[in-house]
Homo-oligomer: A and B are copies of this chain.
């Protein structure tokens, strides 16, 4: 990739490979066992093993040993705080999908609070007020590596 200070590139380095984000999605649904990931994702086992190892290496999942009675020791995978925080990326994809690419059969997942009430992902300004999406833009930061378009040309909406 071309600019390693870009947070989008850096995040893609952690979760951008096929299956990685779906492993995280399933972990957020409460799955921890290799067999659960394998059965629900249908990913090839060598790929699944490699993605789980990479997510452990990057601190998104923590590997633990468990043993069921009469069985051999197996590994389970648990989201770290860093991994839990990826819920915001999954939530953004769910929200965009619900609005702009809904499935005919309805939503497979919902973002809810602990009472089951609907939650939305929204832009909040420094005053704590929720902003309209037309009031928000992505601007160059201190480490911007490339020349951006003039600020007036930056897409809004």
Contacts and interface: CB of A to CB of B under 8 A. Distances in A.
A143 B90 contact: no
Contacts of A71: none
Contacts of A120: 123-124
Chain A interface size, as a band, is: 35 or more
Interface in A101-157: 101-103, 105-114, 116-126, 128, 130-131, 133, 135-146, 148-150, 153-157
B108 A144 contact: yes
A129 B126 CA distance: 14
Q: Nearest 7 pairs between A and B by C-beta?
A: A30-B149, A7-B97, A84-B157, A107-B141, A92-B92, A30-B153, A106-B143
Interface of A: 1-12, 14, 16, 18, 21-22, 25, 27-31, 40-42, 79, 81-82, 84-103, 105-114, 116-126, 128, 130-131, 133, 135-146, 148-150, 153-157
